[in-house]
A and B are shown apart, each in its own frame.
Chain A
Amino acid sequence: MGYKTPTSRKGKRKQERLNLIPILDAVFIFIFFLLMSTQFIKIFEIGSDVPIISNTPPPKTKKKPLALTVSIKSNRLDIYSGVPSRKINSIRKSDDGNYDLEKLHSYLIEIKKKNISENTVILEPIVDVSYEEIIEIMDAVRMFRNTDESLYQKDKDGIDVKVKSLFSKIVFGNLMS
């Protein structure tokens, strides 16, 4: 009669464990790589093209140029359009003394609805405003907000595509003067 292992000893069989060391090695290397390329402050940019001064007349097109211009004055924002330039709206400063950017944004959405493919706006700061205020105005002019209604335009295949930006191409009009 052979030796039989008692049942109590059978249950004590060693539990096999997963070897995590190679995973740990990989994670460590990955962490070093990420630490080197991590940006703790989120920094972005706003692009603007240098205005080009030319004596040659613009190319003739059937469509009238929008030539949307926002003129920053001491107590208001004047909006001009067309060639030659014509004032189409004036937005006064709000009671707290700041530019009414909500009104400007809403008005520009209305213009965008009528000129869906237009992306350019000319900024003309007439008074000496701070750089921070210029950036705030640029934000109001450039981008849609999450609460704004969605606008769509047809692409070359006739499919409706959501318009992502308001007037994203900003040019400073009076830079060379």
Chain B
Amino acid sequence: MSRVRSIRNKRKREKKETIEVDITSLLDILVILLVFLLRSYNSSGVTLTIPKGIQLPISQSQTLNNAGVMIQVSKDKIWVDTETVLDSEEPPVNIYDQGGRRIIPLFNELVRKKEHLKAVAKQAPVAKPFSGIANLIIDKSLKFSYVKKIMYTCAAAGFKEYKFVVMSEDQ
């Protein structure tokens, strides 16, 4: 009797099939996502950090960003590669020198950064040499007299090229 049952069950077992999930709709969604991500792909490979309090100006420029030291300037703070160098809430005793043209804390940090990059390039031959590029991430409402001080400080610290970071007008 048990043998008969086992033969019957075997036939049933053979009839059972694996359940197939229809993944066509999932694939459709993924393709749409892929197209969207490809459109917003950053081919420059440079990651820029825009701190809170900085509104970038809008420009027609389509030039991709270059790697360099990032100088972020808001109304009350200055950062170099996301490290705060000047805070108007806790200002140092001396901020300016050279007739009010050079910002001392920014100058010191930029020189330190430059020396560090040069030392790294010396030690590791595969490392990129110091490019001399200063990526200026500046709030659009700031006045040129202040921007000029930042540009002057960068030049005094040995940077030879400014890159004004702007936002594309087709957002």
Chain A residues close to B by CB (< 8 Å)? 17, 20-21, 23-24, 27-28, 30-31, 34-35, 37-50, 125, 128-132, 134-136, 138-139, 142-143, 145, 172, 174-176
Contact = CB atoms under 8 A, between A and B. Distances in A.
A147 B118 CA distance: 46
User: Among the interface residues A28, A37, A45, A135, which one has the most CB atoms of the partner chain B within 10 A?
Assistant: A45
Contacts, number: 148
A131 B57 contact: yes
Interface string B14-55: 000000100110110011011001101110010010100000
Interface string B146-169: 011001101100011111111110
A49 B154 CA distance: 11
B153 to A, nearest CB: 11
A142 B60 CA distance: 10
B141 A130 contact: yes
A17 B18 CA distance: 14
A128 B143 contact: yes
Interface of B (DSSP majority class): mixed
Contacts of A134: 144, 147
Q: For the complex of A and B, list the 6 residue pairs with the smallest distance between their C-beta atoms, beginning with the closest.
A: A42-B168, A39-B42, A34-B37, A132-B140, A135-B57, A45-B163
A31 B45 CA distance: 17
A45 B40 contact: no
A46 B61 contact: yes
A128 B116 CA distance: 35
A142 B164 CA distance: 13
A126 B143 CA distance: 12
B161 A48 contact: yes
B42 A17 contact: no
Nearest to A51: B155
B119 interface: no
Given A27-B31, A37-B42, A44-B166, 4 more contacts: A28-B30, A46-B63, A50-B160, A135-B140
